[in-house]
Amino acid sequence: MENYLDEFRMNVKYYREKMDISQTQLSIICDCGTGTIGGIESGKAKPSFDMMIKIAQALKVTPADLFIRDISKSKTELKQELKQQFESILSRL
């Protein structure tokens, strides 16, 4: 479950920066405290379901987009990570 929250928080930050808005601006749009978005992005706060929906709407993405994968990483980077993980597993067999 923790992995999903990491993906979520990294994707929130990625889409927020892509829209060129600050954490404060996103918190205003989402009608939450100014520290809420920072807490979510740093992993110190876990958003409610309703907050996840508000964030997705504010960032103009679907809620699923925030959980798919760390969108800030390229496919090449992801393939390299998977290859390393696979090789590590094989070496233990």
pLDDT of residue 1 exceeding 50: no
Q: Residue 34 has what pLDDT?
A: 85
pLDDT of residue 30 exceeding 70: yes
For the segment 31-59, what is each residue's pLDDT rounded down to a tens digit?
Answer: 999 899 999 999 999 999 999 999 999 99
Residue type, 10: M
DSSP 66: G
Q: Residue 63 has what pLDDT?
A: 93
Q: What are phi and psi of 46, to 5 degrees?
A: -110, 120
**Residues in CB range of 54: below 8 A, 6 or more apart:** 29, 30, 31, 32
DSSP 67: T
For the segment 60-85, what is each residue's pLDDT rounded down to a tens digit?
Answer: 999 998 988 766 666 677 678 778 88
Query: Where do the structural domains in the chain lie, given as residue ranges?
Result: 2-91
Architecture of domain 2-91: Orthogonal Bundle (1.10)
